[in-house]
Structure 1
Amino acid sequence: MAISLNVYLVTDGNGREAVEFYRDVFNAEVLAIQTFGEGPSSPDHPIPPEAKDRIMHASLQIGGSVLMLSDTFPGMEHTIGNHITVTVNTDTADEATRIFNKLEVGGEVKMPIQETFWSPAYGSVTDKFGVQFQISCTPNNA
């Protein structure tokens, strides 16, 4: 049986910016992006004008993984939480450092990228969207 895990992020109206940011950081391919306005409509549940351009669903191919995200629907509470940590494993320290350096722009470094006993390059950063990342180089295992 094949099992894959995907990280799903929820943004607060800046989903399109997040898609472009992660596309650039990870050299990702945007697989899908759909706004609430592009989704099916129902007279019983009309889409308010302020929701039409928000992201209903997006997915990005990053190596062998898929990152998914959506915006909140207007009126829904958006909570930036610390319960989601995305672990990014690379096979070179240079790539780990490159990704870390891009994620830290506008974000907050929790642990600078550095050599640790388990990795030649490890760091922890919360990006400008409030998402926590652990970046780690794992040679021969990425």
Structure 2
Amino acid sequence: MIKLVEIYLITNNNGLEAVEFYKDAFGAKVITCTTFGEAMENVPDNMKNYLLNASLDINGIRIQISDNGNEHPYIVGTNMTACVQVDNVEDAKNIFSKLSLDAQAINMEITETPWSPAYGIVVDKFGMTWQINTDIPGFVSENVKF
């Protein structure tokens, strides 16, 4: 079952600044805020202070923010996605499969990650980017490490 659909903002490696900006602009509460250096081992020095993920609550509405990192070019227009939070793996895979029909791109096959038992990114046939994330409180992968 879908738990939540939220906005996911991808910043040009200035995510920590964006967190403070949106916190002030919207009166948001910062739920989580983690840098690459805090979450991963063997991070290049220039990426340690990049934002891996932040979650903000704006009067009951949640937005996520992360930095682009150095892997992909930062392109305005592709820096906002919808993130569908699902409460079980079967539903996540089913939604991902349906969105993948005639997809323009599958940026990441749905797979286990350190934070989710099933996470994937697809650009659907209309050019909309969707992140599908199985959100199970307390989940930590024993199989996948950063």
What TM-score, normalized by structure 1, do the two folds share? 0.52
Give the match for residue 136 of structure 2.
none
Asked if the contact 1:12/1:71 (under 8 Å) is kept, the reply is yes
1:66 and 2:62 are equivalent in the alignment: yes
Q: Which letter maps to 1:63?
A: N
Give the match for residue 14 of structure 1.
14
Separation in structure 2 between the aligned mates of residue 37 and residue 20 of structure 1, nearest angstrom? 19
Deviations 1:9-63 (A, max 9, x none): 000111011101110111010001000000132xxxx311110000000010001
Deviations 1:66-101 (A, max 9, x none): 110100112421111178499xxxxxxxxxxxxxxx
- Gaps in structure 1 of 5+ consecutive residues: 87-142
Give the match for residue 30 of structure 1.
30
Q: Could you tell me the percent identity over the aligned residues?
A: 38
- Secondary structure at the aligned position of 1:21 is classed as helix
Within a 5 Å distance, the mapping from 1:122-133 to structure 2 comes to none
Distance 1:50 1:26, change over 3 A: same
Separation in structure 1 between the aligned mates of residue 27 and residue 65 of structure 2, nearest angstrom? 17
Max Rg structure: 1
